[in-house]
Structure 1
Amino acid sequence: MALKDLLEKESLFSPFQSLLVSILSVPLLFVATQNLMQIFTAAVPPHHCQSNFTWEHLSEPKDSCKRYISLLTNETEPCNSGDWKYDLTTYTSTIISEWDLVCEREWMKELAQSIYMAGVLAGAMVYGSLADRFGRRVIILCCLLQTALMGTGAAFAPYFSIYCFFRFMTGMGICGFTINDLGLTMEWTPLRYRPTVSVFQGTCLTVGQIILPGVAYVIRDWHWLQLALSVPYFFFFILVCWVPESFLWLVIANRSQQAVHNLNRVARINGDKDGIPVTLEMLKGETNNNSPALTSRITPIDLFRTPAMRTMTIFLSMTWFSSSFCFFALAMDIQKFGTSIYLVQVVFGCVELPLRVLSTLMSAYVGRRFAISIFLIVPGILILCSLAVPKDLLLLQLFLTVLSKGFLGSSIVCAYLYTTELFPTVLRQTGIGFTNMMMRLGAVIAPLVMMTKAYAPFLPLVIFGTVPIVCGLPILWLPETLNSSLLDTVDEVEARSTDAPIQAWRRNVG
């Protein structure tokens, strides 16, 4: 639309752009803390079952899940709930010591994290579609408030089942906020600055991996840690109230008056007193289109109705799936190196930061598609190369793992930018939500692939190395969005797909 050009003349560091990016980026600093919080809140402290005997010379049974009931026969019995004793030197309290999630109840620790990820999966699907129907801003505010309330509630949960419910709802809120936060930022960002802003926000997500171990090192009680990482979202809710709704969405939703108000508000903030104010007449040409209004029912099925949309959705889903599939697999298997969990999280975050800068440069000067493809294929090759590293060279294995995880994390940031630019306004958040759902599906399947170690120790690495290479190639067949304006309707997407071969031929001839 012609009005898109209104923002293109603005500098990235104009007052409005600076405030918008800053306000929408601050909450992203705490997203990783919620996603990875259970590394510390569910840490397993040293424990043993309290014996009925008190003689000092009595040793504990070899099976730490049992205790002696007879000294004559060395007969043992399973430990009952409430009889566990924990060494709380490192962690003063965790959900493990709170609800005795050890031995036969050990599976409940993984259940809690799975329930959280199920909430993230649900949030990707629900809040993506709702944002296309009701607007980005209102959904962001709802998700921030939901995260604040549910995260705080989890800190005071009296029972494990209630704790899991609060964590599920927190996961929904976190995912809904993240996908819509990134989408709204891109819709207000001038074309030439989108790669920079996208990677800046991705960097904020990475910084959360460094913030978490720092806070967890200071706060060793899981109640207070949960509270300290959830209460800030009340402040974020108040802060984001300043952010205006996307004028692109308002125009497509036939809310032209509000779109005019928001555009003129931006002009006032930027001090453009001499500029021509936006009027309703300027929007007439934008609202007269044949596309269905956003107030109609938008469903994920619309992502597959037309050929171009179907191809985009499938190839992007492959990209998102493979990135998360391998990313979380490497993160889960890091304990094999026997390093401090505090140190590992800091190293992961520090390694990803320079790779985010590299992904920015590639996205801005080479292209989105090529950047995503490279940041998938390279870690796939590194993972396959790690198969040839001897087991005693743990430092080299750690280096390849950290580097691969850093590349995969940067590919996710590039994918956020590319997905935002590729989908039209009427289905943008639905598309981002669906591809995010595929990303979470990859995280769910990754632990199942780790079980193939039982058949062949090398098999998981073969799978984790092959999948990103295979999924990193089809993305090259999609349209490039470098220096391209955001599209608004499905018809424009189909037209772009039809015109792309002709435009490519003209460039080659010229």
Structure 2
Amino acid sequence: MAFQDLLDQVGGLGRFQILQIVCLCISSIIVFPHVLLENFTAAVPGHRCWVHILDNDTVSANGTGILSQDTLLRISIPLDSNLRPENCRRFLHPQWQLLHLNGTFPNMSELDTEPCVNGWVYDQSSFSSTTVTEWDLVCEFQSLISVSKFLVMAGMLVGGIIYGHLSDRWLAESARWLIITNKPEEALNKLRKAAHRNGRKNVADTLTLEVLKSAMQEELEAAQNKPPVCDLFRTPNLRKRICVLSFMRFTTLIPYFGLNLHVQHLGKNVFLSQGLFGVVTLPSNYVALLALNHLGRRVSQMLFLFLLGISILTTTFVPEEMQTLRVALATLGVGVCSAAITSSATHGNELIPTVVRALVLGVIGIAANIGSAVAPLLMILTVYSSHLPWIIYGVCPILSALVVRLLPETRNQPLPDSIQDVENERKGWRKAKQEVISMKVTTF
């Protein structure tokens, strides 16, 4: 008898398990939207420099009305390369001669301009107020928006480390984890509790401590020799898996939060884009489940990661005027990114032995949170090129897809329970390979 048989006795998927899933979903629904709040609270509205003859209330009230707002704007604010009013500069003096050009546009670089020394005027059609308009986080101060998002994600990194330890005391542990950590009595109580909630009240008579120890003999023996943290990186196969999985999670979370935290850069309608991003997440996870079951773990991840990289790189060089195409490609990117994260999490759980799974997943989670924190910080690179951060977002998942082949396929394979299982798997693979080579040599 193995642990799976014990689960079948208490109810593999009953009311107890469903209740756990519902509680996790509720907590995720409450928590995750806070990560996306800055798409709205820190939105950057259209803006231009404050100009005395255009925005001074006294001048506007006493004006004769001869010159329109558009005319005053033309002589006060230079045009950018797209013939739109500049966001961060204004003319040093009103350029009255521009009124007589009859639709022609002179070389703006020849005219004297200055920064917005008196502040900015913001478009309030979509957002009446944001942190950007409150503290003027535009132009030379726009990098502070990325810093604020970085601090939020860095808080998640620190919180994940701190509360990960606290949760070991406050949350209910899994019975399997209790067994491999040499706590069979607590594991028995958890199993009986699950059986009772699943309506299998008679299991308490047959599910005893002796039955539990007999079923989990190997796990209990492994628990007697619980490895220290340093042993995670001493054995070559486990060390390789941890490093590859950490790199993959790091390079996958960078584009995920790069897309989700910068919705405004992808489409003008933030509300529509954010809604599409949310809607596409659920079916993408279902597609990931189908792919994992039919294509395998490695092929699924490579497919999703390559699609993610291609969609981001394509979106980067699509003109801003093609809003529909940009939003569609960005939505595709969010969908395949969610599928890639689901596939990576499933594969990672199946690669790590039970006895150190919680610890290793904590290490991988730290790498993921570092990637989450780096994602908004990369937007500072827009001072060099507006495309540079998005190119990095697109290249990261492609690199991640290339290293997937370093990991073994785990579909329809038993979960490893100890570090020895992982290393023996490597030895078994080498032995099988040697036998194949030997057979080929014998054939000739």
Whether TM-score is above 0.5 comes out as yes
Give ranges in structure 1 of 5+ residues lacking alignment: 142-243
Question: Is the contact made by 2:11 and 2:200 (CA closer than 8 Å) also made in structure 1?
Answer: no
- Residues 415 and 9 from structure 1, CA distance in 2 versus in 1: closer, same or farther, beyond 3 angstroms? farther
Tell me if 1:111 matches 2:130.
no
Correspondence for 1:289:
222
Q: For 1:351, give the aligned amino acid.
A: V
Correspondence for 2:22:
22
Range 381-390 or range 348-357, more displaced: 381-390
Q: Distance in 2 between matches of 1:277 and 1:436?
A: 39
Q: For 2:38, give the aligned amino acid.
A: Q
Correspondence for 1:55:
59
Correspondence for 1:122:
158
Identity value in percent: 33
Q: Distance in 2 between matches of 1:287 and 1:102?
A: 60
Question: Is the contact made by 2:42 and 2:132 (CA closer than 8 Å) also made in structure 1?
Answer: yes
Question: Is the contact made by 2:157 and 2:366 (CA closer than 8 Å) also made in structure 1?
Answer: yes
Tell me how far 1:21 sits from its aligned partner.
1.4
- Residues 98 and 77 from structure 1, CA distance in 2 versus in 1: closer, same or farther, beyond 3 angstroms? closer
1:31-63, Cα deviation, whole Å (9 max, x unpaired): 330111111222345677697873324979759
1:208-357 alignment, distance < 5 Å:
244-275=172-203, 276-284=205-213, 285=217, 286-289=219-222, 292-293=225-226, 299=229, 301-331=230-260, 334-357=263-286
- Residues 505 and 267 from structure 1, CA distance in 2 versus in 1: closer, same or farther, beyond 3 angstroms? farther
Tell me if 1:370 matches 2:299.
yes
Q: Distance in 2 between matches of 1:91 and 1:478?
A: 47
Question: Is the contact made by 1:12 and 1:18 (CA closer than 8 Å) also made in structure 2?
Answer: no
Residue of structure 2 aligned with 1:403, choices 311, 332, 336: 332
Q: Distance in 1 between matches of 2:311 and 2:11?
A: 39
- Residues 490 and 432 from structure 1, CA distance in 2 versus in 1: closer, same or farther, beyond 3 angstroms? same
Q: Distance in 1 between matches of 2:140 and 2:385?
A: 27
SS at match of 2:426: helix
Question: Is the contact made by 2:89 and 2:114 (CA closer than 8 Å) also made in structure 1?
Answer: no
1:93-112 alignment, distance < 5 Å:
93-96=129-132, 101=137, 106-112=142-148
Range 258-267 or range 19-28, more displaced: 19-28
Tell me how far 1:310 sits from its aligned partner.
0.8
SS at match of 2:222: coil
Range 114-123 or range 272-281, more displaced: 272-281
Aligned residues: 391
Q: Distance in 1 between matches of 2:309 and 2:45?
A: 35
Question: Is the contact made by 1:373 and 1:472 (CA closer than 8 Å) also made in structure 2?
Answer: yes
Q: Distance in 2 between matches of 1:361 and 1:76?
A: 55
Q: Distance in 1 between matches of 2:154 and 2:354?
A: 27
- Residues 458 and 406 from structure 1, CA distance in 2 versus in 1: closer, same or farther, beyond 3 angstroms? same
Tell me how far 1:361 sits from its aligned partner.
0.8
Tell me how far 1:251 sits from its aligned partner.
1.6
- Residues 46 and 126 from structure 1, CA distance in 2 versus in 1: closer, same or farther, beyond 3 angstroms? same
Q: Distance in 2 between matches of 1:11 and 1:506?
A: 42
Q: Distance in 2 between matches of 1:90 and 1:397?
A: 20
Correspondence for 1:440:
369
Correspondence for 2:97:
none
Q: For 1:375, give the aligned amino acid.
A: F
Q: Distance in 2 between matches of 1:490 and 1:65?
A: 59
Q: For 1:403, give the aligned amino acid.
A: L
Q: Distance in 1 between matches of 2:44 and 2:317?
A: 33
Q: For 2:157, give the aligned amino acid.
A: L
1:289-340, Cα deviation, whole Å (9 max, x unpaired): 365448xxx54x4432211111111211222122122223344554345421
- Residues 36 and 390 from structure 1, CA distance in 2 versus in 1: closer, same or farther, beyond 3 angstroms? closer
Tell me how far 1:262 sits from its aligned partner.
0.7
Q: For 1:17, give the aligned amino acid.
A: Q
Could you tell me the TM-score, scaled by structure 2's length? 0.72
1:431-488, Cα deviation, whole Å (9 max, x unpaired): 2222222223334444565666677776655544443233213323323333344433
Range 306-315 or range 23-32, more displaced: 23-32
SS at match of 1:314: helix
Please report the RMSD computed on the Cα atoms of aligned residues, expressed in angstroms: 4.2
Residue of structure 2 aligned with 1:498, choices 406, 409, 427: 427
Correspondence for 1:477:
406
1:19-168 alignment, distance < 5 Å:
19-44=19-44, 54-56=58-60, 57=63, 62=77, 78-79=117-118, 90-91=126-127, 93-96=129-132, 101=137, 106-128=142-164, 130=165, 135=168, 138=170
Q: For 1:253, give the aligned amino acid.
A: T
- Residues 12 and 407 from structure 1, CA distance in 2 versus in 1: closer, same or farther, beyond 3 angstroms? farther
Q: Distance in 2 between matches of 1:274 and 1:361?
A: 36
Structure with higher Rg: it is 2
Q: Distance in 1 between matches of 2:308 and 2:337?
A: 7
Tell me how far 1:258 sits from its aligned partner.
1.2
Question: Is the contact made by 1:127 and 1:433 (CA closer than 8 Å) also made in structure 2?
Answer: no
Tell me how far 1:358 sits from its aligned partner.
1.0
Q: For 1:122, give the aligned amino acid.
A: V
Give ranges in structure 2 of 5+ residues lacking alignment: 64-68, 78-85, 95-112, 440-444
Q: For 1:110, give the aligned amino acid.
A: S
1:237-275, Cα deviation, whole Å (9 max, x unpaired): xxxxxxx32112212222222111111111111222333
Correspondence for 1:173:
none
SS at match of 2:200: coil
- Residues 373 and 8 from structure 1, CA distance in 2 versus in 1: closer, same or farther, beyond 3 angstroms? farther
Question: Is the contact made by 1:38 and 1:113 (CA closer than 8 Å) also made in structure 2?
Answer: yes
Question: Is the contact made by 1:49 and 1:64 (CA closer than 8 Å) also made in structure 2?
Answer: no
Question: Is the contact made by 2:146 and 2:380 (CA closer than 8 Å) also made in structure 1?
Answer: no
